[in-house]
Structure 1
């Protein structure tokens, strides 16, 4: 049996008192054949998201075994406040390996900590801590940003990108410049601090990782990760 299904059966038994292929199929409103396929090939992405919703276990935990099985006590509080998503605060090195097209979530192993948000986000979403001065004064050292790689940026959005030969991870303001002859969108990434240069996609080695969906500022800085 696939390791992911071993974890799902464990979570269903502990969190929902559901056991066996037939009971699990009824809980998920899928056919027993679907459950059998998961046992052989692993759980689909949609299946993991449904497990998070129906069973209350973390999709990341199902995929990799990393992090807590469930949202714990915070999940019981969420019944009063609506749906809550669990987001890993990761390092810049981990963020540089994010690939939204892949089902592999192993890059989120051993996050610096877990954050919670009410925003409806994809399974590949993550959080980073600001360490540089390029986005001052709006973004200060120690601030956190939550990023969703599944959201395409719009003009004026803030994005996290890989930049340069060493693929440094940066936060910048996104400005589209139109399509080139191959119908690829050209864009600029702009620092809010005028002392930092403008980055142009047709001249510089740059790749957008994801779009910022939330910014958290602190009166007293909490030193944790890096961006």
Structure 2
């Protein structure tokens, strides 16, 4: 049985439509359909898909003995504010902040300093909307085109697409932070102090009220 067949089988067993399953997984219905059609062989959000189907991500990818989602190891990630994320640029530990955290559960492979952030504003629309949650790993070095959280010279963090520009004589990498919404300007590290805080490793889309 292939990945496509396992995904479709579990979805049907749970009585879910493709749209409902995709919403639970935090992906688009077209992406889900591509998996069931066999076009997508290695889905990026396999953990979210497995949670939507209440099964083990390893079983979905490779088959074998079925493992209920309750038997899968999960970790909780603190959901922090943009101000707290900005402070992380100075390598302040997450547990140094006052107050109680809300936590996000995930099975994604990550470092100990990984955190979650709720999207604010519309600068990253249409792909990222206000209320979506991203999980960010500060231990990763960004690759061109990846999405990052960075300190933008103020106290708060910003979430943008990473685009390296050039490396100077001192070996320092210069870069731009690019919004997906054309109504917002690109931020250049040559024009203001910028510091990468972490790289997005998971994106969760939540159902919005109509």
- Specify if TM > 0.5: yes
Counterpart selection for 2:83 from 78, 93, 98? 93
Partner of 2:160: 172
Pairwise CA RMSD: 2.0
Q: Report how far residue 111 of structure 1 moved.
A: 4.4
Partner of 1:181: 169
Q: Structure 1 residues 191, 105: CA separation in 2 closer, same or farther (over 3 Å shift)?
A: closer
Partner of 2:141: 152
User: Pairwise mapping of residues 59-208 of structure 1 onto structure 2 (< 5 A)?
Assistant: 80-81=71-72, 83-99=73-89, 104-164=93-153, 166-208=154-196
The answer as to whether partners of 1:85 and 1:121 remain within 8 angstroms in 2 is: no
Secondary structure at 1:106 match in 2: helix
1:75-132 deviations in Å (ceiling 9; x for gaps): xx86622x31210001111111115856x44335534411111111111111011111
Q: Distance in 1 between matches of 2:71 and 2:80?
A: 28
Q: TM-score, normalised by structure 1?
A: 0.58
Unaligned runs of 5+ in 2: 1-67
Q: Distance in 1 between matches of 2:191 and 2:205?
A: 33
User: Pairwise mapping of residues 10-21 of structure 1 onto structure 2 (< 5 A)?
Assistant: none
Q: How many residues align?
A: 142
The answer as to whether partners of 2:87 and 2:155 remain within 8 angstroms in 1 is: no
Computing the radius of gyration from Cα coordinates, the structure with the larger value is: 1
Q: TM-score, normalised by structure 2?
A: 0.62
Q: Report how far residue 146 of structure 1 moved.
A: 0.5
Q: Structure 1 residues 100, 163: CA separation in 2 closer, same or farther (over 3 Å shift)?
A: closer
Q: Distance in 2 between matches of 1:153 and 1:100?
A: 18
Q: Report how far residue 220 of structure 1 moved.
A: 2.4
1:152-189 deviations in Å (ceiling 9; x for gaps): 1101100001113x233111000111211111011111
Unaligned runs of 5+ in 1: 1-76, 222-227
